[in-house]
Copies of this chain bind each other. A is one copy, B any other.
Amino acid sequence: MVGIKDVARRAGVSVGTVSNVVNRPHLVSATTRSRVLTAIQELGYVRDESARQLRAGRSRILALVVLDLGNPFFVDIARGAEQAAHDEGLHVITCDSGQQADREQSYLSMLAEQRVRGVLLSPVDTSGVALETFRRNEIPYVFVDRRVPADEASSVSVDDVAGGALAARHLVERGHREIALVNGPQILAQCRDREAGVRSVLADSAARLSVLETNDLDVASGRDAGARLLGMSPRPTAVFCANDLLALGVLQAMVSSGVRVPEELAIVGYDDIEFAGAAAVPLTSVRQPARRLGHRAATLLIAETTEDTAPPARQTVVFEPELVVRESTKTVVR
Closest to A249 in B: B278
Contacts of A112 in B (CB 8 A): 46
A94 in contact with B94 given A69-B69, A75-B69 (CB within 8 Å): yes
Question: Please, what's the 1-or-0 string for A261-293, where 1 marks a CB less than 8 Å from any CB in chain B?
Answer: 000000000000011011111100000000000
**Complex: A137 Cα to B49 Cα, angstroms:** 14
Q: B44 touching A54 by the CB < 8 A rule?
A: no
The answer to whether A93 has its CB under 8 Å from any CB of chain B is yes
**Complex: A44 Cα to B133 Cα, angstroms:** 7
Q: B282 touching A49 by the CB < 8 A rule?
A: no
Contacts of A53 in B (CB 8 A): 50
**Complex: A72 Cα to B275 Cα, angstroms:** 11
**Complex: A138 Cα to B46 Cα, angstroms:** 12
**Complex: A59 Cα to B137 Cα, angstroms:** 22
Closest to A283 in B: B278
The answer to whether A25 has its CB under 8 Å from any CB of chain B is no
Q: B278 touching A219 by the CB < 8 A rule?
A: yes
Question: Please, what's the 1-or-0 string for A31-54, where 1 marks a CB less than 8 Å from any CB in chain B?
Answer: 000000000000010111111011
Q: A274 touching B137 by the CB < 8 A rule?
A: no
The answer to whether A70 has its CB under 8 Å from any CB of chain B is yes
Q: A49 touching B274 by the CB < 8 A rule?
A: no
**Complex: A186 Cα to B47 Cα, angstroms:** 34
**Complex: A93 Cα to B93 Cα, angstroms:** 6
Please state the number of chain copies in the assembly.
2
The answer to whether A136 has its CB under 8 Å from any CB of chain B is yes
The answer to whether A91 has its CB under 8 Å from any CB of chain B is yes
**Complex: A196 Cα to B49 Cα, angstroms:** 43
Q: Min CB distance, A88 to chain B, in Å?
A: 14
A251 in contact with B278 given A1-B137, A110-B91, A115-B49 (CB within 8 Å): yes
The answer to whether A154 has its CB under 8 Å from any CB of chain B is no
Q: B48 touching A113 by the CB < 8 A rule?
A: yes
Q: Min CB distance, A129 to chain B, in Å?
A: 12
The answer to whether A57 has its CB under 8 Å from any CB of chain B is yes
The answer to whether A308 has its CB under 8 Å from any CB of chain B is no
The answer to whether A132 has its CB under 8 Å from any CB of chain B is yes
Closest to A136 in B: B44
The answer to whether A20 has its CB under 8 Å from any CB of chain B is no
Contacts of A219 in B (CB 8 A): 274-275, 278
Contacts of A277 in B (CB 8 A): 252
Q: A50 touching B115 by the CB < 8 A rule?
A: yes
Please give 20 more A-B residue pairs, beta carbons under 8 A apart, in addition to A44-B133, A93-B93, A219-B275: A1-B57, A1-B137, A1-B138, A44-B132, A47-B113, A50-B50, A50-B51, A50-B53, A50-B59, A50-B114, A69-B69, A69-B78, A72-B72, A75-B75, A93-B95, A94-B94, A248-B278, A249-B278, A251-B278, A278-B279
Task: Offer 23 A-B interface pairs, CB within 8 angstroms, sorted by A.
Answer: A1-B137, A1-B138, A44-B133, A46-B133, A49-B113, A49-B115, A50-B115, A70-B76, A78-B96, A82-B96, A91-B110, A93-B93, A93-B94, A93-B95, A248-B275, A248-B278, A249-B278, A251-B278, A255-B282, A275-B278, A278-B279, A279-B279, A279-B280
